[in-house]
Chain A
Amino acid sequence: KAGVTQTPRYLIKTRGQQVTLSCSPISGHRSVSWYQQTPGQGLQFLFEYFSETQRNKGNFPGRFSGRQFSNSRSEMNVSTLELGDSALYLCASSYYPGTGGRSTYEQYFGPGTRLTVT
């Protein structure tokens, strides 16, 4: 089956601009979560969407937002970009047992979007 895809793979933006990143999960996975990975802060959880609803949120400012569509594809948006937002943004597609018949939790990451803010 097709894996998790993220677009674009690389992005260069200027401070103050906004950016939208996209994630397409594995077919049948209804949960999409987003993470920020930087050398300084490591891996940090941004938020998670399930069935078009934000189910959980990490400790990030309101400039970071997201949404999920009825086909489970998700987007995250960062407004008023800052230099410190430069990072690898990863999404993960998850399957929770009990939501579709299988008994094992699954989680697969996408390849990430490398965002550089100048």
Chain B
Amino acid sequence: GENVEQHPSTLSVQEGDSAVIKCTYSDSASNYFPWYKQELGKRPQLIIDIRSNVGEKKDQRIAVTLNKTAKHFSLHITETQPEDSAVYFCAASTASGGSYIPTFGRGTSLIVHP
């Protein structure tokens, strides 16, 4: 089955710096890659996603890049703010029956210091 490695497990940055979280996956059939943000004690929230036919996608301060050949994808957050502090999960998903079967990374705890 699919295996997703996520690094780093903890990332500490100063407000205004950029943050990059990387994930690698093993199954070349994976074709949908969502990212989730989970603040302490709250539910996960889908923040951005990318499909395998696209190399990069941006939404304001966040962007995701995908390298299908190397089987890795990354989340980039620019101009970080204290409210960006949360655990971020990546997932690699294979299409099945009209939807996706996700395998999640172990999460990255992002801490943004004011």
Interface of A toward B, CB cutoff 8 Å: 31, 33, 42-45, 48, 50, 55-56, 58-59, 90, 94, 96, 105, 107-112
Tell me the minimal C-beta distance from A67 to chain B in angstroms. Answer: 17
Instruction: State in angstroms the CA–CA spacing of A108 and B103 once bound together.
Output: 17
Instruction: State in angstroms the CA–CA spacing of A33 and B49 once bound together.
Output: 17
Tell me the minimal C-beta distance from A103 to chain B in angstroms. Answer: 14
**B98 within 8 A of partner (CB):** yes
**How many residue pairs bridge A and B at CB < 8 Å?**
48
The 8 Å CB contact of A45, one of B43, B45, B97, B101, is: B101
Q: Contact: A110 with B97, CB < 8 Å?
A: no
**B106 within 8 A of partner (CB):** yes
Q: Contact: A56 with B43, CB < 8 Å?
A: no
For A109, list chain B residues within 8 Å (CB). Answer: 43-45
Given A43-B89, A107-B46, A109-B45, A96-B98 contact (CB < 8 Å): yes
